[in-house]
C-alpha cells in the first residue's frame, strides 16, 4: 500500500484540493493586484543567488535610492510561488522607505537542487536569508521585520523564533501554524478527509521520512506553534474568515498561545477573506495592506 501511496502525482493532490476548496481557490492570484506592476523610478532593484550548505536561496531586492541605512523587510511568498512573484510587494515597500528582500528556496536532494516542502532542514537554514540581509551596508540591522503569505507566513514566524533578538516585527498572512494538527485533525466532510489524506501522503513523500514518527518530528520542527515561546517580536496575524485551506483556527490558536506568553500580538480577522485574499480580493487586500504598513511603521 505504501508504494501505491507514494506514486500519487502532485497534480492529483492539487486537483483534489481545488475541488474541496471551491471556486475561490481556482481564481488565479494577481500579485500586482494592489501593488506596482513596474518598478517605481525612485527605487533600486537587484537579484542575488546564495548557497549555504545544501540550501540554495534566490533573492529579489529593492531599496530606496540615496545614501544612508534603511529599515528592512524580508518577504516570503505563498507556497508554490517564488521571490520573483513578490516583486510588486517589495517595490511597494521600497518606495515607502524600506529595503525589501524576497526569498525562495531549493534544497539539494538526490544530486540536484529542487523545490521541496521541507527546504529548511538545519537550524542554519532558517536564518540564512536574515544573515545575508544583515550584511548589506544599506540595512539598519537594528530594524528588520519579516512578512509572509501562507507558507511564507510560516517562514516569517520561524525566523522570528530562531532569531528573537534580531527581528523587530512580524506580519504573517493566513499561515498554518501547526502542521501536525492541520494534517491529522478529524474532518467530517468525506471529500475533505480524502483531500487531506492525499496532502499528508504528499508531505510524507517530500519529507523523505522513513517512519511515521520521523515524519511527525519533521512536521513539528516546521511548525510555529510548538516554538511560540521563542518569539519575542511583535506579531500581526492576518487571516480571512472564509479561508478553507488554512482555517482561521490556525492563526487563532497561535494568537492564544502568544497572549498566554504575554507577547505583543494583534489578530486582524478579514470578513469574507478567502485563502490568498490579498492577491484576489482588492478591497480586502487594501485594508490588510494598510494594517501591514502601520504595523511596520510602529515597530520599525
Specify the CATH number for the domain of residue 209: 3.40.50.1820
DSSP state of 117: T
Question: In total, how many domains does the chain have?
Answer: 1
CA–CA separation, 82 vs 256, rounded Å? 31
Q: Which domain holds residue 256?
A: 2-299
Query: What is the value of pTM for the model shown?
Result: 0.92
CA–CA separation, 230 vs 126, rounded Å? 14
Identify the bridge partners of residue 268 per DSSP, sorted by sequence position: 238
- For 121, phi then psi, to 5°, come to -130, -10
Beta strands (DSSP E) in 14-98 are 43-52, 55-64, 70-76
Please tell me whether residue 55 adopts helix, strand or coil conformation.
Answer: strand
Q: Is the pLDDT of residue 237 over 60?
A: yes
- Comparing CA positions, the residue from 248, 184, 265 lying closest to residue 220 is 184
Residues 266, 255, 240, 250, Cα dihedral to 10°: 160
Q: What mean pLDDT comes out for the span 63-79?
A: 97
DSSP state of 15: H
pLDDT per position as a tens digit, 238-293: 999 999 999 999 999 999 999 999 999 999 999 999 999 999 999 999 999 999 99
Q: Is the pLDDT of residue 19 over 50?
A: no
Residue 27: per-residue pLDDT: 79
When pLDDT is cut at 50, 70 and 90, the band that residue 25 belongs to is low
Share of the chain above pLDDT 70, in %: 91
CA–CA separation, 196 vs 25, rounded Å? 15
Amino acid at each position: 500500500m505504501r508504494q501505491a501511496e507514494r506514486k500519487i502525482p502532485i497534480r492529483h493532490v492539487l486537483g483534489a484540493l481545488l475541488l474541496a476548496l471551491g471556486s475561490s481557490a481556482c481564481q488565479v492570484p494577481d500579485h500586482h493586484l494592489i501593488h506596482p506592476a513596474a518598478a517605481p523610478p525612485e527605487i533600486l532593484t537587484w537579484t542575488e543567488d546564495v548557497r549555504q550548505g545544501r540550501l540554495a536561496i534566490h533573492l529579489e531586492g529593492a531599496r530606496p535610492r540615496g545614501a544612508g541605512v534603511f529599515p528592512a523587510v524580508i518577504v516570503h511568498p505563498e507556497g508554490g510561488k517564488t521571490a520573483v512573484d513578490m516583486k510588486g510587494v517589495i517595490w511597494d515597500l521600497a518606495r515607502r522607505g524600506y529595503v525589501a528582500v524576497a526569498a525562495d528556496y531549493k534544497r539539494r536532494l538526490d544530486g540536484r537542487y529542487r523545490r521541496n516542502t521541507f527546504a529548511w532542514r538545519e537550524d542554519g537554514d532558517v536564518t540564512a536569508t536574515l544573515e545575508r540581509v544583515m550584511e548589506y551596508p544599506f540595512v539598519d540591522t537594528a530594524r528588520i521585520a519579516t512578512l509572509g503569505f501562507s507558507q511564507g507566513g510560516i517562514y516569517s514566524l520561524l525566523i522570528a523564533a530562531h532569531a528573537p533578538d534580531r527581528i523587530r516585527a512580524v506580519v504573517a498572512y493566513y499561515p498554518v501554524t501547526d502542521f501536525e494538527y492541520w494534517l491529522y485533525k478529524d474532518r467530517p466532510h468525506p471529500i475533505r478527509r480524502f483531500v487531506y489524506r492525499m496532502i499528508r501522503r504528499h508531505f510524507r513523500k517530500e519529507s523523505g521520512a522513513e517512519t511515521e514518527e520521523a515524519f511527525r518530528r519533521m512536521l513539528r520542527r516546521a511548525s510555529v506553534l510548538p516554538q511560540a515561546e521563542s518569539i519575542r517580536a511583535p506579531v500581526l496575524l492576518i487571516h480571512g474568515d472564509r479561508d478553507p485551506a488554512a482555517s482561521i483556527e490556525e492563526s487563532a490558536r497561535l494568537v492564544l498561545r502568544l497572549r498566554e506568553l504575554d507577547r505583543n500580538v494583534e489578530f486582524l480577522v478579514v470578513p469574507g477573506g478567502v485563502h490568498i485574499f490579498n492577491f484576489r480580493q482588492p478591497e480586502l487586500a487594501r485594508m490588510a495592506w494598510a494594517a501591514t504598513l502601520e504595523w511596520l511603521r510602529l515597530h520599525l
